[in-house]
Amino acid sequence: MKRSLHVYAVLYLAFLYAPIALLPVFAFNDGTVIAFPLRGFTFEWFRQLTEIPALHAAVLNSLTIAVASAVLATCLGILAARAATRFEFPGKKGIMGLIMLPLVLPEIIVAVSLLVVLLQLGLSLGAWTVILGHVLIATPFSIAILNSAFQGLDTSLEEAAIDLGETKLSSFRLITLPLVMPGIISSLLIAFTISLDEFIIAFFLTGTDPTLPVYLWGQLRFPQKLPVVMALGTILVVASVLLLTIAEYFRRRGAARTGQKDAGGFL
């Protein structure tokens, strides 16, 4: 039983990693067609990446949006997670349910509903409208991460600080914040990654300046540009994995700091 499950698990991981594993294969392949057999090894596609101004503009745009979304979503996440874990109030379930709703809502619904309202209000689309949408979908993830950070917190530590003469605010700053800091960093990184990768909302709300995924989407139509897309994808995947590894490191440190059992997982 254990053996067959183990084999299945390894095969399943192979299935999960198959697309990502192929990326570098084609990114370094010296052929314009994305198919086997492979031709030879080249850095050409990576070199070409450095020569596309539209791509650089899209990367910059995406980074700006991702940083802003990560900071805003984490701020909202801190407020909501603190309220949910520390206080009881009527209607809490419903309120938290509404805030967490984007987690299950199809992104296209979020995108078109925001689009309709923004256009009706006569507002012009741009980076800021994408940020509005990304904060909405990243906040539930931030809350999920921060909930576990706040949950593991021993409230008697804060109470002790208050008894020793600190104000509520200073005890939050001196006691609570340092303890949940790993959770906050992890939330920032996850929200950043979500925003950087998100396509549908950006596609609808981006206006004239494309984000990186919207730019990529445009390139997928041109077969001759695909090797460059593979090179770009390789860089993106390496960056995502690095960010996630850092996020996971902080999440674990946070779990250890507040004395939780580490069961893993961001959700």
User: How near is the Cβ of 208 to another protein at its closest, in Å?
Assistant: 14
Q: Which residue, 41 or 221, has its beta carbon nearer to another protein?
A: 221
Least separation in angstroms between residue 15's CB and another protein is 7
Greatest extent of the chain over all pairs of C-alpha atoms, in Å = 72
Q: How far is CA 121 from CA 47, 112, 115, in A?
A: 44, 14, 10
Shortest Cβ distance from residue 188 to another protein (Å)? 14
**Least distance (Å) between residue 36 CB and another protein:** 4
- Indicate the residue among 67 and 172 with the shorter CB distance to another protein: 172
Nearer to another protein, 20 or 174 (CB): 20
Residue 82 or 175 with smaller CB distance to another protein:
82
Q: Which is nearer to another protein, 252 or 257 (CB)?
A: 252
Q: Closer to another protein at the Cβ: 84 or 179?
A: 84
Least CB distance to another protein at residue 175 (A): 15
Q: Least distance in Å: CB of 80 to another protein?
A: 4
| Distance, CA of 202 to CA of 134 (rounded, Å) | 8
Distance CA 189, CA 186 (A): 5
For the chain, where are the alpha helices, taking DSSP H only?
2-27, 44-49, 53-86, 92-100, 107-120, 127-151, 155-163, 168-171, 177-197, 200-205, 212-219, 226-257
Residue pair 116/108 in contact (Cβ under 8 Å)? The answer is no
Range list of H helices, 207-225: 212-219
Q: Which is nearer to another protein, 33 or 60 (CB)?
A: 33
Smallest separation, CB 244 to another protein (Å): 5
Rounded distance between C-alpha atoms, residue 12 and residue 6, angstroms: 10
